[in-house]
Copies of this chain bind each other. A is one copy, B any other.
Amino acid sequence: MRAQKFLFVPGPTNVPHGVLSAIDGPMEDHRSPELPQLTLPLFEDLKKVFKTATGQVFVFPGSGTGGWEAALQNTLSPGDKVLAARFGQFSHLWIDMCQRLGLEVITIDVEWGEGAPPERYQEILASDRDHEIKAVLVCHNETATGVTSDVAAVRAAMDAENHPAMLYVDAVSSIGSIDFRMEEWGVDLAVAGSQKGLMLPAGLAIVAASPKALAARKSAGLRRCFFDFEDMIAANRTGYFPYTPSVPLLRGLRAAIDALLEEGLDNVHARHHRLAEGVRRAVKNGWGLEILAKAPKWESDTVTAVVVPTDFDASTVINVAYHKYNLSLGAGLSKVAGKVFRIGHLGSLNELMLCGAICGAEMAMRDVGIRVQPGSGVAAATEYWRTTPGLWKVWDEAARVA
């Protein structure tokens, strides 16, 4: 029997029992006449989660990385110019992918801890008189640094310059947790994965495309087959897929989306914000430490990167937390390796689970010599949670009525 870990990495997240149950069970024929009863409404409800009325959402076997590739391959041609900001490991990797697929990337390098800078996007777009830039990329929530960018502001920058490029957003660690408005923000391609706010195991790349993005597939010259929208569009029309999908994950997705829509997306986002704010108070007010996000406007509601004092190595904290306290924390990646540890706070989570994570991180820090006060983390977090209106009243009422 494996010892269970408290899972506080920013994905995969805890899968609720009801979702696990929907996934578990006998296999089904993916060409059965009943499959469309599952898939057609699911495709519609996914659009609600992305907040798009006119777009189409594709569900591929894959991961967020596969979703990035699908978004690019279906809409761009070799040599196309792409504008993107780099401010963490995942925004970096998407840029790297663009280059490997033969696109030419104009990279805006930003200090890790800040988000996408709309003003610099605008400058560069303004200077692109011939509209050679075909794609503008933004990482909505940079999982590596705990930074959320202002996608609407980037769209505003594009609109201010009347620039016709398409807007591509990595929403992997925001969809289902942080407000994302595909249609309102004019996002053309949005990429999500199953193992974050959607509370599923890894295994699905979920990509939403605007009508403009869908039209772009006709002229897109990048070679593709597995991730081709064309085959998906043809097969999805009647509720099927061009190759064997994971019906178990589709049933899980159905259950997860039911849960999100039943709670209400606004409530889901508010819950994430409230839990995140408690964690930030634990770090700042309780422990007296800093978080990597440089300003409140960048603070992510799904992951917090905690900066350890400069004479300590964050990886030792993570190591002690894992081996001594059964707590899985996220490591600092690349530029911030050893400097931060990350607490994921997204998906199926509540206050007491976070209390356990805060206490575990606190013990591990004390074990390696970082001088934080015992109990100070949860003292700050719990007083915040206890005294601010939570969603518990709603649940309580629901419990009474049900």
Contact = CB atoms under 8 A, between A and B. Distances in A.
A11 B262 CA distance: 31
A287 to B, nearest CB: 11
Interface in A226-259: 226-228, 242-249, 255, 258-259
A8 to B, nearest CB: 9
A385 B363 contact: yes
B17 A4 contact: yes
Interface stretch (A30-38, A113-121, A149-157, A162-170): A30-38
Given A20-B24, A21-B24, A324-B390, A242 B7 contact: no
A19 B394 CA distance: 29
Interface in A88-146: 96-97, 100-102
Nearest to A241: B63
A383 interface: yes
Interface string A201-238: 11101000000000000000011111110000000000
Count identical subunits in the complex: 4
A54 interface: no
B386 A366 contact: yes
Given A245-B202, A356-B353, A375-B378, A100 B396 contact: no
Among the interface residues A27, A245, A328, A402, which one has the most CB atoms of the partner chain B within 10 A? A27
Contact of A26 (B14, B30, B258, B378): B14
Interface string A285-320: 010000000000000000000000000000000010
A363 B386 contact: yes
A61 interface: yes
Given A32-B328, A203-B203, A244 B26 contact: no
A5 B29 contact: yes
Given A226-B65, A352-B326, A7 B21 contact: no
B1 A16 contact: yes
A392 B6 contact: no
A62 B65 contact: no
Contacts of A102: 223
Contacts of A3: 395
A188 interface: no
A189 to B, nearest CB: 15
A174 interface: no
Contact of A374 (B4, B63, B330, B378): B378
Nearest to A248: B201
B203 A61 contact: yes
A9 B25 contact: no
A146 B2 CA distance: 30
A18 B2 contact: yes
A240 to B, nearest CB: 12
B61 A202 contact: yes
Contacts of A352: 6, 325-327, 356-357, 359-360
A40 to B, nearest CB: 12
B21 A69 contact: no
A382 interface: yes
Given A66-B226, A363-B386, A367-B386, A18 B32 contact: no
A28 B7 contact: yes
Contact of A33 (B33, B322, B359): B322
Given A61-B61, A63-B245, 9 more contacts: A2-B18, A28-B328, A64-B244, A101-B225, A327-B352, A351-B363, A352-B357, A373-B379, A374-B375
12 contacts: A5-B28, A5-B29, A12-B247, A21-B25, A33-B399, A61-B203, A97-B226, A203-B246, A223-B223, A326-B350, A351-B363, A375-B375
